[in-house]
């Protein structure tokens, strides 16, 4: 046993210090980023915000709408082969949509069959597991990269620099960072395992960028300012679940609760999700997610405008004309935890 004494930080532990700026309007801020991926060699241009691969968020309808708005989507991995083939066949070339998969033999074979039909229509792949520290996960990444050298591969989740380096060196273009920060994730409570998200971004970003790789911050954002902090801390992409939930594009039923319109949102390791897709919680594990009711929020376009408006505003406060410059112009101020509690962690 050992104890690390270094201070680790979450989004609510810091604020961004303002700096002098020559920008006169939020409209001058460019949020699109351009990347050339280390492994695939493919080029990307767009707003680096990704809808999470949760069945209540990462839907085909969400992908269609976010593609129109210049954002990205990671489809959830429970679509059938026929639906996936039909979707990717008609996907515009400039859309950024990740095919999501696990690491079982069945996952691999399903991907192989879909890819054989749609061919280069699938260029982005997300390999998603709760625990990215297992040998079986690394072995799967190597196998997938060897078989499909041209795909742009996002994989995780991890929270430490050394494992980020391991993934980049074994074929990953974008390392997915985050264990337990999601609003409907209970991993930290159930297992005691996790890492404060902002520190994970800073440390994993430093490790990935040193090798020419990229990272995606996954989880923990509850307001537009959290995205600004994630990008300021070095995230190349930010994945959102709860902030994009509850919209028309999420394909979840609207319920009347106490006279208000509500929709259900749950973690993919929750009892609800496991009952839906696996017939229940296996006898060797426990649920590591929860279900909540959210207000119905209508079309997602308005929420996207609010989120991106907040990030643009953050850029104007520090003088970043492009999102790319935000991390170079960010100085974080630590906020006393007592003040966080008094002022609602705002």
Closest to 16 measured CA to CA, from 231, 209, 178, 195: 231
Q: Which residues of 218-242 are buried (b: 16+ CB within 10 A; e: fewer)?
A: bbbbebbbbbbbbbbbbbbbbbbbb
How far does CA 109 lie from the centroid of its chain?
25
Does 185 participate in catalysis according to the annotation?
A: yes
Active-site hit among 72, 126, 185, 250? 185
Written in H, E and C, the secondary structure of the chain is CCCCCCCCCCHHHEEECCCCCCCCCHHHCECCEEEECCCCCCEEEECCEEECCCCCCCCHHHHHHHHHHCCEEECCCCCCHHHHHHHHHCCCCCCEEEEEECCCHHHHHHHHHHHHHHHHHCCEEEEECCCCCCHHHHHHHHHHHHHCCCCEEEEEEECCHHHHHHHHHCCCCEEEECCCCCCCECHHHHHCCCCCHHHHHHHHHHHHHHCCCEEEEECCCCCHHHHHHHHHCCCCEEEECHHHCCCHHHCCCCEEECCEEEEEEECCCEHHHHHHHHCCCCCCCCCCECEEEEECCCCHHHHHHHHHHHHHHHHHHHCCCEHHHCCCCCCEEECCHHHHHHCCCC
Cα–Cα distance, 205 to 282 (Å, whole number): 35
Active site amino acids:
185
């Amino acid at each position: 046993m050992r104890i690390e004494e270094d201070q680790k930080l979450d989004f609510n532990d810091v604020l961004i210090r303002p700096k002098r700026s020559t920008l006169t309007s939020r409209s001058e801020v460019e949020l699109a980023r351009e990347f050339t991926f280390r492994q695939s060699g493919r080029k990307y241009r767009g707003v680096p915000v990704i809808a999470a691969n949760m069945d209540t968020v990462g839907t085909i309808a969400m992908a269609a709408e976010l593609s129109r708005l210049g954002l990205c989507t990671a489809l959830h991995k429970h679509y059938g082969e026929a639906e996936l083939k039909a979707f990717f066949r008609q996907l515009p070339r400039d859309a950024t949509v990740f095919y999501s998969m696990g690491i079982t033999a069945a996952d691999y074979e399903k991907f192989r069959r879909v890819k054989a039909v749609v061919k280069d229509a699938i260029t982005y792949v997300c390999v998603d597991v709760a625990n990215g520290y297992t040998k079986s996960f690394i072995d799967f990444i190597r196998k997938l990269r060897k078989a499909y050298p041209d795909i742009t591969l996002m994989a995780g989740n991890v929270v430490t620099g050394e494992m980020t380096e391991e993934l980049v060196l074994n074929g990953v273009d974008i390392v997915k960072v985050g264990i337990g920060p999601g609003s409907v994730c209970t991993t930290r409570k159930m297992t005691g395992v996790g890492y404060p998200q902002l520190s994970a971004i800073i440390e994993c970003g430093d490790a990935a960028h040193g090798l020419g790789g990229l990272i995606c911050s996954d989880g923990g954002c509850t307001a537009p300012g959290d995205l600004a902090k994630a990008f300021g801390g070095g995230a190349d992409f930010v994945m959102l679940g709860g902030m994009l939930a509850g919209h028309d594009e999420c394909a979840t039923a609207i319920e009347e609760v106490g006279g208000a319109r509500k929709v259900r949102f749950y973690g993919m390791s929750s009892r609800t999700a496991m009952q839906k897709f696996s017939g229940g919680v296996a006898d060797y594990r426990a649920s590591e997610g929860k279900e909540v009711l959210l207000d119905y929020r209508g079309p997602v376009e308005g929420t996207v405008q609010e989120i991106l408006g907040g990030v643009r505003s953050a850029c104007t406060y520090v003088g970043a004309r492009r999102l790319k410059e935000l991390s170079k112009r960010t100085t974080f101020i630590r906020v006393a935890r007592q003040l966080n509690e008094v002022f609602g962690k705002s």
